[in-house]
Structure 1
Amino acid sequence: MHLENYDQIILQVLKFFAEKYWPYWPEDLAVLFSPNQEAFINELITDYASDPKMMRLVFDVIGHAFPERKSDYLRQLLKINHDFEIFRQLNLVKAKFFGSIESLIPWKEQRIQDWKAIEEVFAGLRPSTKFFKHRDFVKKQIDWLKRDIEEEKHPNTRPKVIRADTLPEFTPILTPELKHLYRQIKEQFPFLDFAIWTTRWLNHWVEHLAGKFYTLVEVEGDHEEAHAVFSFLKSKEEYPEVFLDPDAKEIENYLGYTQDTLIVRNLREDAPIVRHLIPIASLEKILVNIFCEPILFAMYQEEELENIYVNVFTNYQLDEQKMIQYAESYNQANEIQQFIYQTHKLINTK
């Protein structure tokens, strides 16, 4: 097959994953690329520099197929598009753990070196003022990892942590509406696994009560299964506002015009689910979702995010390691680990 035709086939595969099949396994995409396709990678970055999902896909491929060129490709992207949000979503440092179970220090030290390599990319970029957020973001990753290493070496420096086993489990109220929604989906798709949760539960922990809410239906499997659930619910008159994995533009322009909005999307890998009367998102998953998706959960950011975390950490059992592990799927394990650390510090000062 001619190389240009093969490149076009790969492009269609990437577009499919970016638009229809999310999340995905980067290793599966990387095997499609060979060493002589570096020019094609250059074209992808040039043509799709403003597309966050395509750029995340491309840099996932780079991390597996062309790791030695990662800094060069990142420099190319930033020269074309300096948008910080796109940069922040890239998986630039591999999160996969290696090392002994006794110590995470070697793994964290390697991550520091990887982040320092990213830091060097900004040296030749102009104007430098456009990359202040980028440099600050990288510096924070390095500082957090250094702090974690020091804490592992000197455990007494850690803030006092509330013993989770002395606190009750979170048991949310399952309203008749939630149960009805679950039964409708289960009767239509009896073999489908999915979980439901609602932002109404967050009203217990915020200072300013929300008046509009999201109910999320998160479906295991591929995009087609989530789309089938979306189409089914969209056909019901009782659900006037239903969206399928809305992007930033849809969230800004269309969500929130009714009191309750239904959002259908795929369930991420390793998403922690608990089963009460119906399968629901665990408290750990909810906390990670609102932290890692600030556009969708804009009403729960800044001070409200602190309020939620402090109230939950003070009053309920939580598995912090499960939160950090799940945050890896957003490439934000370090960030949420730091926020957990800050939450404990806030609790200790009260």
Structure 2
Amino acid sequence: MSYIDQSDIRNWFENDRFLTTDELVKRLSLRFPDAKAGTLHAKLHRLKREGLVRNVRRGLYAAGSKREFEPAVSKELAGLSKKLRKRFPYLESLCVWDSRWLNEFTVHQALSSIVIIESERDTEKAVFEFVKASCSRVFIDPTPKEIDNYILGCEKCFVVRPLVTEAPITSSGDVSIPKLEKILVDLVCDKDLFVSFQGEELRNIYRRALTDYDVSLSTIRRYASRRGRLEEVNRLIEQEGESI
């Protein structure tokens, strides 16, 4: 057989609730004896993406039907990322995302869009000037007053901010984007910027994200601790999420 299905996964986890990366790779090697190590790890990544297995914590997996968070990166966002990478090739850390990605988690659909651009600290001013040259409604680390006066209600705007060190980011193609864990914590930490996603909507977002997607609670808690919001984030996880 050249594929893995749900029945295979049930057999693998029949006697064990959790399996390590090495144990899963070993099981894959029995199914694909001619596959190289890199191919086996790629197959494991595919199992994660398809929701057949999920991360419990680093290097440990459980059977599951949860998916990986893979938002649709628009051509505009991909183009912006490409321009930034070309203009600032020395940047080690950069990520971009669109607040409309949150619409799948909320009851009320946001028509407006905030494009978040985060770059390593002390580079955000240069990034801001570059984006401002080609885009309208561009703000750098806006204050609550600026958010209230100029951003809320704006159909589309761009916000440039410093990226917190060790923030959980990933990639979609050639575009660096935040992991879902980062977005969930940022919603709690940056209430003024994400005011449309507070209250009941914030609870909706956490509930649906933790139910539908393969979210690492350890990653959420580590990043929340780094941003000084661990207690509040923990409370949301306990109220809306699942205990692992």
| TM-score normalised according to structure 2 size | 0.70
Shift of 1:300: 0.3
Contact 1:213–1:256, Cα closer than 8 Å, also in 2: no
Q: Match for residue 296 of structure 1?
A: 193
Distance in 2 (CA, whole Å) between partners of 1:297 and 1:257 is 12
Q: Match for residue 259 of structure 1?
A: 155
Q: Match for residue 200 of structure 1?
A: 100
1:64-94 CA-partner distances (Å, limit 9, x unpaired): xxxxxxxxxxxxxxxxxxxxxxxxxxxxxxx
Shift of 1:247: 1.1
Q: How does 1:155-174 map to 2 (within 5 A)?
A: 165-174=64-73
Q: How does 1:1-350 map to 2 (within 5 A)?
A: 165-192=64-91, 193-220=93-120, 222-223=121-122, 225-236=123-134, 239-277=135-173, 278-344=175-241
Q: Structure 1, unaligned stretches of length 5 or more?
A: 1-162
Amino acid at match of 2:65: T
Distance in 1 (CA, whole Å) between partners of 2:119 and 2:148 is 23
Q: Structure 2, unaligned stretches of length 5 or more?
A: 1-61
User: For 2:203, what is the secondary structure of its paired residue?
Assistant: helix
Distance in 1 (CA, whole Å) between partners of 2:137 and 2:153 is 8
Instruction: List structure 1 segments (4+ residues) > 4 angstroms apart after TM superposition.
Output: none
Decide whether aligned partners of structure 1 residues 230 and 248 sit closer, same or farther in structure 2, where only a CA change above 3 A counts: same
Amino acid at match of 2:184: L
Distance in 2 (CA, whole Å) between partners of 1:335 and 1:287 is 12
Q: Which segment drifts farther, 310-319 or 185-194?
A: 185-194
Decide whether aligned partners of structure 1 residues 182 and 164 sit closer, same or farther in structure 2, where only a CA change above 3 A counts: farther
Shift of 1:337: 0.8
Higher helix share: 1
Distance in 2 (CA, whole Å) between partners of 1:195 and 1:165 is 29
User: For 2:71, what is the secondary structure of its paired residue?
Assistant: coil
Distance in 2 (CA, whole Å) between partners of 1:267 and 1:164 is 33
| TM-score normalised according to structure 1 size | 0.49
Shift of 1:258: 3.2
Contact 2:188–2:229, Cα closer than 8 Å, also in 1: no
Shift of 1:330: 2.4
**Quick one: percent identity of the two aligned structures?**
35
Amino acid at match of 2:154: T
Shift of 1:165: 4.5
Shift of 1:257: 4.9
Contact 1:164–1:317, Cα closer than 8 Å, also in 2: no
Highest relative contact order (Cα 8 Å, sep 6+), 1 or 2?
2
Decide whether aligned partners of structure 1 residues 335 and 244 sit closer, same or farther in structure 2, where only a CA change above 3 A counts: same
User: For 1:266, what is the secondary structure of its paired residue?
Assistant: strand
Aligned CA-pair RMSD:
1.7
Q: Match for residue 28 of structure 2?
A: none
Indicate the structure (1 or 2) with the bigger Cα radius of gyration.
Answer: 1
Amino acid at match of 2:81: Y
User: For 2:101, what is the secondary structure of its paired residue?
Assistant: helix
1:21-51 CA-partner distances (Å, limit 9, x unpaired): xxxxxxxxxxxxxxxxxxxxxxxxxxxxxxx
Distance in 1 (CA, whole Å) between partners of 2:106 and 2:172 is 24
Amino acid at match of 2:107: E
